[in-house]
Amino acid sequence: MMNGQARNRRKNQELCGKNFLKFVIYVFTFIFWLTGCAFLAIGLWILFAKHSYASLLGSSTYPIATFLMIGIGGFIIFSGIMGCGGARSENRCLLVLYAVFLLLIFLVEAISGVLAYMYEGIIREELSRNLNDTMMKNYKYDVHLTQAVDDMQQNFLCCGAVSFKDWQKSKWLQEDKNTTNKAPDTCCMSYSLGCAEDDHPSNIYYEGCSPKLAKYTKESLMIIGGIGLGLCCVQIFGVIFSCCLVRKIKDKVYKY
């Protein structure tokens, strides 16, 4: 009789421990799923709202960090659904796979954050080196890049990479004999066709775009790096809880 009561007590304790772990995984996965939605939303926002000047940067680091963030968000949402399913059905294979996915997400988030912070430190130097060369050689010859330059000059109220004088060395102005412009019309304070024929400071912006583009891009990279490094450690707790639940289920299988 006493042995039966002791066995029942142990079974109840094991059941309570297992149910507690399942509850913890449900709560963790819900929070984890919300972070995935946040990753996806912020990544898409950076892509559509802040990605228009990526072609001017001369490096693929910024686009890679952005797409990594979007990919992480989608993968987190998928993994969260799988984790809840594994906990509900007490499926050891799904829970182990969930733990492996959490480790992968941890690594990718860390890489994304480190890439963002590394690139944030060298972006001004890279822009000073590459932006002027890119603009002077490709403006009016590359439709996508031309649109990016025009948008940048209008939105940042600037002209050229370092100053408006950069345009005097551009391939476009040197080869186009039909234009009397001193710079693109998007350098004008009040835009109109042919407005940049006069390069007086009351008519066009004299300040270059490089410092403003560097600041703008740094803000995006700080968001990517902060979120990536700030949330990557959360996955470790999910791995621990998942492994504990797998152990509980494993013990039950061996016992019965």
Residue 255 in this model has a pLDDT that exceeds 60: no
pLDDT above 90: residue 245: no
Q: Which phi and psi angles does 180 have, rounded to 5°?
A: -110, 10
Please say whether the beta carbons of 181 and 194 come within 8 A: yes
Q: How many CB atoms lie within 10 A of CB 169?
A: 11
Confidence of residue 6 (pLDDT cuts 50, 70, 90): very low
3-state secondary structure 154-203: HHHCCCCCCEHHHHHHCHHHHHCCCCCCCCCHHHECCCCCCHHHCCCCCC
Average pLDDT over every residue of 105-134: 74
**CA atoms of 105 and 231, how far apart (whole Å):** 10
Of the candidates 197, 245, 220, 189, which has an alpha carbon nearest to the alpha carbon of residue 64? 220
> Which two structure tokens, joined as six digits, stand for 44?
């898409």
What confidence tens digit (pLDDT) does each residue in 67-114 have? Answer: 877 888 888 888 888 878 877 877 888 888 888 888 888 887 777 777
Question: Going by C-beta distance under 8 Å and a sequence separation of 6 or more, which residues neighbour residue 9?
Answer: none
Can you tell me the distance from the alpha carbon of 178 to that of 176, in angstroms, rounded to the nearest whole number? Answer: 6
Beta-bridge partners for 163: 207
Q: Which of the pair, 242 or 150, is modelled with greater confidence?
A: 150
d(CA 155, CA 158): 8
Tokens of 93: 């294979």
Segment 8-62, tens digit of pLDDT: 445 444 445 667 777 877 887 788 788 788 778 877 887 776 666 767 776 666 7
- At residue 256, the pLDDT reads 42
Residue 204: strand pairing partners: 188
Type and span of the H or E element at 233? none
Total residues belonging to the chain: 256
**CA neighbours closer than 13 Å in the CB half-sphere of residue 175:** 9
Longest C-alpha distance within the chain, in Å? 105
**CA end-to-end span of the chain:** 20
Burial of 129 per CB tally in 10 Å (0-12, 13-18, 19+):
middle
**Total H helices, total E strands in the chain:** 7, 0
Q: Which of 37, 34, 36, 51 is nearest to 219 (CA)?
A: 51
Q: Is the pLDDT at 1 greater than 70, yes or no?
A: no
* Three-state DSSP string of 28-56: HHHHHHHHHHHHHHHHHHHHHHCCCCHHH
pLDDT band at 5 (very low <50, low <70, confident <90, very high): very low
pLDDT tens-digit map of 145-197: 888 899 899 989 999 888 888 898 899 988 888 888 999 999 999 988 889 88
